[in-house]
Amino acid sequence: MKISSMFLHTLKEDPKDAEVTSHKLMLRAGMIRKVSSGIYSYLPYGLAILRKVEAIVREEMNKSGAQEVLLPGVQPAELWEESGRWDFYGKELLRFKDRKGAQFAIGPTHEEIITDLVRNEVRSYRDLPLNLYQIQTKFRDEMRPRFGVIRAREFIMKDAYSFDVDEKGAEKNYHAMQTAYERIFTRCGLKFKAVEADTGTIGGSFSHEFMALADTGEDVILSCTKCQYAANIEKAEIVRPDSLKMADAPSGKPEKVHTPQVKTVEEVANFLKVRPQDIVKTLIYTTDAGVIAALVRGDHEINEIKLKKALGCDTLELADETTIESATKAPRGFAGPVGLNIKIIADMGLVTNGPFVSGANELNHHLKNVWLSRDVKISAIDDIRNAEAGDLCPRCKQGTFEMIHGIELGHVFKLGTKYSKSMNATFLDETGKQQLIIMGCYGIGISRTVAALIEQCHDDDGIILPVSMAPYPFLILPIDVKSQEVMDTATAIYEGLKALNIPALFDDRDERPGVKFKDADLIGVPYRITIGPKTLKEGAVEIRERTTKVTEKISKDSVIEYCKKVLKEKHINL
């Protein structure tokens, strides 16, 4: 491709809107342009990289036995009502009416559509197992789109759905997807980690997320320093203490102290000269099972997903001021467990400690010398806090957790019969009995993968594409387009690569060398072939590797061979 005629417009300056590196570079390299918040157009160069990811995904999905389909972006409300998600999904589901007034949504995911399709086609166990996937644009009306295409509202996703006759088959499909994902992200040249994840409202026995390691990642992962265990903070387990009984207390009773305007854990710790871990944080929640109090140590953070699970409730929300006041008889900031008349659940991190400081349920007062075993009626003790760096690993019990950040690229999980049940997707087994299909679903954020890759692979000059991700592995750069000799050589190389179907960019613009060098670095082409009058006098051209910045001088006649060799070494078949 000749750059002079390419729809490629690079920017010298960082666009104001962009915060993270990948977003800045994707805009500067002319890959994307913003249309609206969280909505982007892909320009030729950006699309070309996107296609590289898609190609790898297709190859590996097909190899694993999945078959490609293409489902509609617009989905009728009826199917969502059938699965129960029309009311449940919330504002992220963009809804609208057609001219007849019928309700539709723009698909944020496709469980309903695929389940509907499969239930209409699959009759017998002979039709199973099945794994269907698609690569398609999805829309989720995110409250706060961020980081360019990393958290966009409109984005491109590969989603696959598996259908099996039994649990064993479902498990097999799950593992097939896991290994496919490992291969996909490895081939993309990404540093990633598969971590245990929460299954969310979807349920099922387990799920894994594939995280690209990046400091700017929104997800927090806890990873054992000794063994393989790694999990999303939402899920990361904490070692259970030997006993879930609160530490024995001496006789006595809590002592009320005056603490004017002292509310937060930090303020209380400073004011009363105690450590944060000697304070009990009391959080009041409104749930579908009533108002409850959750207790965690002052230095710990509550984990609402764990809390929800421990309580067995569906909805959970920090209580508002009015609810807090009616439950504790005190304004926010002074809640404490002593004398509370609502259900109290305590984190197991509290069992070995005492005495504690807590709120006194009275304005400007706290209690000292509180023993949970003596002074508080606890209904349950469970793991309801976030794991943190330094915690003992729950698996090997030798290593400790370190905290890393990641960008969620892929998610595999078992759906079980959630959708087949609500939407009645069944088959007849060998004995003629009707059975529910066991499902799984597996997503990869394609557009997000491109951004994650750039987040990992760049330097001060721009993007550094691995050869596997480069739509054009080579860029031919004549220093002076007015020099006949230079242009003849450059053109010969360009045509030579073209004849072999090796994609290359030809920077034939009448620009000064510096401009072309900067652009070449910015868009991240792995190999730059520079043709200038100086080296040409020796019959040579230069090849510079983007990653290492090492320049090598080679004979102008051996360039094609060199390129072929590079591709072979990197196992790229074009």
Partner RNA sequence: CGGGGCGUAGCGCAGUCUGGUUAGCGCACCUGCCUUGGGAGCAGGGGGUCGGAGGUUCGAAUCCUCUCGCCCCGACCA
3-state class of 534 per DSSP? helix
* Cβ 475 to RNA shortest distance, Å: 11
According to CB under 7 A, which residues from 398 to 437 bind RNA?
Answer: 408, 411
544 binds RNA (CB under 7 A): yes
34 binds RNA (CB under 7 A): yes
Six-digit token string for 250: 């001496």
Beta-strand runs (E) in 165-273: 192-196, 207-213, 219-224, 230-232, 255-258
Query: How far apart are alpha carbons 484 and 500 in whole angstroms?
Result: 24
Q: Which of 2, 4, 5, 11 binds RNA (CB under 7 A)?
A: 11
- My answer on whether omega of the bond before 129 falls inside 30° of 0, hence cis, is yes
* Residues binding RNA: number (CB under 7 A): 59
Q: H or E stretch including 159?
A: strand 154-164
Q: Which of 99, 100, 273, 534 binds RNA (CB under 7 A)?
A: 534
125 binds RNA (CB under 7 A): no
Beta-strand runs (E) in 29-166: 32-36, 39-42, 67-68, 74-76, 94-97, 103-106, 130-139, 154-164
3-state class of 397 per DSSP? coil
Q: Quick one: which segment of 53-61, 221-229, 398-406, 527-535 binds RNA (CB under 7 A)?
A: 527-535
512 binds RNA (CB under 7 A): yes
* Cβ 77 to RNA shortest distance, Å: 19
* Max CA separation in the chain (angstroms): 98
Q: Quick one: which segment of 175-183, 184-192, 197-205, 275-283 binds RNA (CB under 7 A)?
A: 197-205
3-state class of 257 per DSSP? strand
* Cβ 557 to RNA shortest distance, Å: 16
DSSP 9: -
539 binds RNA (CB under 7 A): no
* Cβ 153 to RNA shortest distance, Å: 9
Query: How far apart are alpha carbons 500 and 362 in whole angstroms?
Result: 81
461 binds RNA (CB under 7 A): yes
Q: Which of 72, 241, 290, 533 binds RNA (CB under 7 A)?
A: 533
202 binds RNA (CB under 7 A): yes
* Cβ 242 to RNA shortest distance, Å: 32
DSSP 538: T
339 binds RNA (CB under 7 A): no
* Cβ 521 to RNA shortest distance, Å: 4
* Cβ 507 to RNA shortest distance, Å: 11
Nearer to RNA, 333 or 399 (CB): 333
321 binds RNA (CB under 7 A): no
Q: Which of 125, 139, 519, 556 binds RNA (CB under 7 A)?
A: 519
Q: What share of the chain is helix, strand, coil (3-state, %, to 5)?
A: 30, 30, 40
Q: In what order do the strands lie in the sheet containing 380-382?
A: 316-318, 280-287, 290-297, 343-347, 380-382
Q: Quick one: which segment of 154-162, 371-379, 426-434, 530-538 binds RNA (CB under 7 A)?
A: 530-538
Q: Which of 36, 251, 261, 322 binds RNA (CB under 7 A)?
A: 36
Q: Are 469 and 53 within 8 A, CB to CB? A: yes
Query: How far apart are alpha carbons 434 and 417 in whole angstroms?
Result: 14
**Residue 557: is it exposed, middle or buried by C-beta count within 10 angstroms (0-12/13-18/19+)?**
middle
Q: Which of 160, 224, 470, 479 binds RNA (CB under 7 A)?
A: 479
Q: SS3 string of 309-371? A: HHHCCCCEEECCHHHHHHHHCCCCCCCCCCCCCCEEEEEHHHCCCCCEEEECCCCCEEEEEEC
46 binds RNA (CB under 7 A): no
Q: Which of 292, 476, 532, 567 binds RNA (CB under 7 A)?
A: 532
Residue found under tokens 């807090």: 324
Cα Rg for the chain, rounded, in angstroms? 29
Six-digit token string for 11: 């920017």
Nearer to RNA, 267 or 485 (CB): 485
Q: Quick one: which segment of 112-120, 183-191, 519-527, 556-564 binds RNA (CB under 7 A)?
A: 519-527
Nearer to RNA, 145 or 394 (CB): 145
Residues 6+ apart with CB under 8 A from 10: 28, 29, 30, 519, 522, 523
545 binds RNA (CB under 7 A): no
Q: Which of 513, 545, 562, 572 binds RNA (CB under 7 A)?
A: 513
Q: Quick one: which segment of 7-15, 122-130, 287-295, 492-500 binds RNA (CB under 7 A)?
A: 7-15
According to CB under 7 A, which residues from 273 to 312 bind RNA?
Answer: 304
466 binds RNA (CB under 7 A): no
Q: Are 415 and 202 within 8 A, CB to CB? A: yes
* Cβ 563 to RNA shortest distance, Å: 18
According to CB under 7 A, which residues from 551 to 570 bind RNA?
Answer: 551
According to CB under 7 A, which residues from 129 to 168 bind RNA?
Answer: 142-147
Six-digit token string for 313: 């409730």
Evaluated on CA atoms 86, 91, 92, 96, the torsion sign reads positive
Query: How far apart are alpha carbons 504 and 519 in whole angstroms?
Result: 15
Query: How far apart are alpha carbons 478 and 553 in whole angstroms?
Result: 15
Q: Which of 79, 517, 527, 566 binds RNA (CB under 7 A)?
A: 517
3-state class of 569 per DSSP? helix
Q: Are 297 and 279 within 8 A, CB to CB? A: yes
Binding mask 216-245 for RNA (x = CB under 7 A): ---x--------------x-----------
92 binds RNA (CB under 7 A): yes
Q: Are 437 and 424 within 8 A, CB to CB? A: no
Nearer to RNA, 432 or 514 (CB): 514
| Binding-site ranges for RNA (CB under 7 A) | 9-17, 19, 28, 34, 36-38, 90, 92, 142-147, 200-202, 219, 234, 304, 317-318, 408, 411, 461, 479-480, 482, 510-515, 517-522, 530-536, 542, 544, 551
